[in-house]
Structure 1
Amino acid sequence: MDCPLCGFSESETILAKPSITIFTNTSDEFGENFGKHNCIIKQCKRCGHVFQPISKKLRNTLEGIYQSDQAQLTTSLGVGSWGKERAPYLFEKLKGIDNYKTKSVLEVGCGNGYILKILKEVGFQHLVGIEPSLEKTEEVDGILFLKEFASNKINLDTRFDFIFTSGVYEHIPDIDSITSFCNNHLDDNGVLFIYVPNCSRYLADGDPAVFAHEHIHYFVESSIKCHLSKYGYEVIDNQSDDHALAVYAKKNDVIRNENFVVEAYKKFQNKIDGKLEKVSKILSDNNSVIIHGACNGLNNILGWLGRNFDYTLVDNDNTKHGKTFFGKRVESLDTVNLVNYDTVLIIPAYFSEAIKAAYVERGFRGQFVMLT
C-alpha cells in the first residue's frame, strides 16, 4: 500500500503482530464479533507518515462498524462519567468556534450529535452534522443531521464558515477524499478545525495502546500540517498538546514549501515487546493484580500475549461497571477492597497520573506499573 499522505510506494514496517479481535468498546455480552485481523503499522520512507495498511477485508469490516451502533472506539461524548469527563477537554480546544455563533457550522463525523446539541444550547444558529452511523437523515431541534460518509462524492450545495472534525481523520483510509469534501464546502474565508490523537509520544515510547484496527493514520504535528499544506491550508492557531493535535487552518494563497521532519520509529515494536514481556511477568507471577482500563490498549496486550491471566479489571467509566470485557467483570474503584491487591497496572497512558492519584487517595500502598 502506498503512503496515504504522499503516495510514495516505499515504507518500513514498524509493527507486525498476529491477528487479534477488533475492539469496539462494547462488552462481551452485547458486542458483535467482527473477527480477527492482522496488526500492522508502517512508516513512509519519504514523508515519515505512520499508517496502517488496510486490506479489502478490513475496509469492509470497518465500513460495517461505522454504520452500526458500535462505531465509537471509546465511550461517546456526553455518555456516562468518562464521556462527560472528556467533553470539557475537547471544548477547550474548540473554543475558537465561539466566533461563529451566527455563522454556518458543519461537523464532519458528528457521532451522537453531542457537540452540536451543546452548541445549539449556547446560541449557535446554523448547525449541520454528517455521520454514517446515524439512523436516518433528519432535522432535530434545529440541527440538520445527514446520514452520509463525508467524501468528495458528496455535494451539499452549500458552503460553511466553519467546519470541524473531532476524532475522524485517523479513521479515514482516503484522507484526501475527506479533505476535498471539507475544501469543497468551506467558504473562501472559512476556517477548518481538525482534532486527532497526537501519536508522537506514544510512538516514541512504544505504547501498546497506539494501535487500533479502526485507526488508519497515526498523526504527529508535522504530518497533519503536511497534509493540510497540500490543499493550500496554513495552520493559524495550534492548540495541540501531548494527547491531541488540535489545529485551526485557513486557506493561504501563498503556498510555502516547508520541509516537515518526522521522527523515525524503527524501535517501536522492540519497545512494545519489552512492555508485553513486563506485563506477562507481572500477571504470571502475581494473582493480586488490578488492571485499570477496559480499553483498546488492554485488548492489544491480551491479544498479543495470547494467554488468559487472573486479575481484577477496574475502569472509571460507569457505563462499563458490571459488564464483562475480556472475560472479566468490570469493577468500580469505589467497590474494590484495595487491601487485597499489591499491584495496579494502569493501561491509559495520558490519564495515568490522575488514575494513580485516585488509588493513593483511597489508601492503596502497593506498586503502580505504567506502560509509558
Structure 2
Amino acid sequence: MNLNLPFYVRAIDKDEEYDLPHVLPFKLFEDENGLIRQQANDELNELLKRAYLKGSLFEGSLSNESGNIYFDSFKEFVERHSVKKRRLLEIGCGSGVLLKSVSKNYQKAVGIEPGISEVKESQYEIVSGFYPDDLEEGNFDTIIHFGVLEHIEDTYGFLQSHLLKLAQEGVVIAAVPDCTEFLLEGDISIFFHEHFSYFSETSLEALFLNCGLLPISIQKFRGMLFIAAVRGSEGSLPKKEEHFKEINPIIKAKISNVESKVKEFSESEIAIYPCLRGINYMSLLGLTGVRLIDDSSQLIGRLIPGFSKEIESFRELTENPPRLIIVTSKTYKDQIVKRIQEQDSLRDTRIEIL
C-alpha cells in the first residue's frame, strides 16, 4: 500500500521557518512475523534524523500535556516489574520527567535523548545522543522506553541490542500504541512517518520473543500497550496474526467512507476534532483548509505544516459553529460526542465518527 501522507513531526508557529516537506510517500507492508510496518528509505531516515536533532517530540510524549494521562500508570507498571533497583536506563527520555521520578528508586539512572542538553544530577543523568551508539558500556537492571519502539526502523536489532546492556536478571519495559482496532478497520489516522511499526498485542509479543525476550506481562491502557520482558529463548513465537493480511482493500474502503462523509461540505464548513487523527484523510482528499480543533495548549494557535488554518480551541469551535464535526478519537469518542451535544450552539452541527 502506497500513500502520500503529511510529514508531520510537530506543530509550528505562524511565522516560523519550516524546512521539512509537508507531504511524503508512505509505504506499508506486513513482515514475516505479522507486524504491520512502514518501509524505510534513505530520504525518510535523513529527514527524521533532522527532525529529532531539532528536539522533535511527537505529541504524546510523557513530558507533553497529552501524555500526562499515561504517566502514573506507566510509572506504576515500571515499579511493579522492576526486581532489582541498582541501574536504570531510559531510552528516549525526552526532558527527563519520567527518569527523574523513577530514578528515586535506583542507585543510578541514565537517560538518552537526541537534540537535548546533557544533564548530570546526583541520582540521574541525561546523555544527548542516539541509542546505542552514543551510550557508554554498562549493564542495567531495568531498561525502559515509552513511545519509542514504534519510531525505530530496525525494531528487531534495537530490541536485541538491549540484551547486550541488560543485567542477567534484568527486565525490559516498554509502551507502544495499541493499533489493533485501527488496523482491523483500515484506519489510516494512526500512520505517521515517525512510526515504523504498528503493534497489536500478538505482534508485540511475537517481536519480543523473536528477539530473545520473554514477555511476563502485557497490559492495555487507553490505547497503549505496556509490556515487561526478561531474557528468554529466541524462536518461540505465537501464531502469526492472519487478519491483517488483506489490509490494503480495507484501507481503500475506509478512505472512500470518509470521502462520502465530507463530499457535500466545503472545507470551511468542516472541523476535525481532535485534529491530529484527521490530517491524513484531509490531506489525501485535498481538504487542507478544514478547521482543526484540539484541547492541547501545546497545539492551539499553531499550524500543522501543509494546512492553512491555525488550530482552534473547543471554545472557538462553539463560538463559530461548523456544519460538520468529524470526531477522530477512538479512546475518547463518547466523551467528545457528549461534550459537543451539550453545546446549544452546536445543536445544528452534524457529528460524524471517523
Task: Compute the TM-score of the two structures, normalised by the length of structure 2.
Answer: 0.87
**Shift in Å at residue 335 of structure 1?**
3.9
Does residue 96 in structure 1 map to residue 44 in structure 2?
no
Does residue 49 in structure 1 map to residue 35 in structure 2?
yes
Does residue 157 in structure 1 map to residue 144 in structure 2?
no
Q: Given that residues 291 and 309 in structure 2 are in contact (C-alpha distance below 8 angstroms), is that contact kept between their aligned partners in structure 1?
A: yes
Does residue 23 in structure 1 map to residue 8 in structure 2?
yes
Q: CA RMSD in A?
A: 2.7
Distance (Å, rounded) in 1 between the aligned partners of 2:92 and 2:329? 24
**Shift in Å at residue 359 of structure 1?**
2.1
Distance (Å, rounded) in 2 between the aligned partners of 1:350 and 1:96? 25
Corresponding position of 1:148: 129
Q: Given that residues 269 and 322 in structure 2 are in contact (C-alpha distance below 8 angstroms), is that contact kept between their aligned partners in structure 1?
A: yes
Match 1:195 to one of 147, 155, 175: 175
Counterpart code for 1:40: K
Distance (Å, rounded) in 2 between the aligned partners of 1:67 and 1:51? 24
Corresponding position of 2:192: 212
Distance (Å, rounded) in 1 between the aligned partners of 2:123 and 2:256? 52
Corresponding position of 2:260: 278
Distance (Å, rounded) in 2 between the aligned partners of 1:75 and 1:168? 11
Match 2:224 to one of 244, 254, 262: 244
Q: Given that residues 315 and 331 in structure 1 are in contact (C-alpha distance below 8 angstroms), is that contact kept between their aligned partners in structure 2?
A: yes
Match 2:274 to one of 281, 293, 310: 293
Query: Once the two structures are superposed, what CA deviation does each residue of 1:236-278 show, in whole Å capped at 9, x if it has no partner?
Result: 1111357122111111359645433342224332233223413
Corresponding position of 1:40: 27
Distance (Å, rounded) in 1 between the aligned partners of 2:234 and 2:42? 39
Query: Once the two structures are superposed, what CA deviation does each residue of 1:186-209 show, in whole Å capped at 9, x if it has no partner?
Result: 111111112111111101112121
Q: Which region of structure 1 is more displaced relative to structure 2, 20-29 or 313-322? A: 20-29
Q: Which runs of 5+ in 2 are unaligned?
A: none
Q: Given that residues 25 and 75 in structure 1 are in contact (C-alpha distance below 8 angstroms), is that contact kept between their aligned partners in structure 2?
A: no
Counterpart code for 1:322: G
Distance (Å, rounded) in 2 between the aligned partners of 1:283 and 1:352? 22
Distance (Å, rounded) in 2 between the aligned partners of 1:254 and 1:61? 33
Does residue 340 in structure 1 map to residue 321 in structure 2?
yes
Corresponding position of 1:233: 213
Corresponding position of 2:102: 119
Q: Which runs of 5+ in 1 are unaligned?
A: 1-14
SS of corresponding position for 1:317: coil
Corresponding position of 2:68: 84
Distance (Å, rounded) in 2 between the aligned partners of 1:53 and 1:224? 18
Q: Given that residues 270 and 325 in structure 2 are in contact (C-alpha distance below 8 angstroms), is that contact kept between their aligned partners in structure 1?
A: yes
Distance (Å, rounded) in 1 between the aligned partners of 2:164 and 2:328? 40
Distance (Å, rounded) in 1 between the aligned partners of 2:73 and 2:265? 33
SS of corresponding position for 2:188: coil
Distance (Å, rounded) in 2 between the aligned partners of 1:338 and 1:191? 51
**Shift in Å at residue 368 of structure 1?**
1.8
**Shift in Å at residue 86 of structure 1?**
4.3
SS of corresponding position for 1:239: strand
Matching of residues 249-264 of structure 1 within 5 Å: 249-252=229-232, 256-263=236-243, 264=245
**Shift in Å at residue 118 of structure 1?**
2.4
Corresponding position of 2:111: 129
Corresponding position of 1:178: 158
Matching of residues 313-352 of structure 1 within 5 Å: 313-325=292-304, 326-337=307-318, 340-352=321-333
Counterpart code for 2:146: S
Distance (Å, rounded) in 2 between the aligned partners of 1:190 and 1:158? 13
**Shift in Å at residue 154 of structure 1?**
5.6
Distance (Å, rounded) in 2 between the aligned partners of 1:72 and 1:164? 17
Distance (Å, rounded) in 2 between the aligned partners of 1:183 and 1:279? 49
Aligned identity (percent) is 21
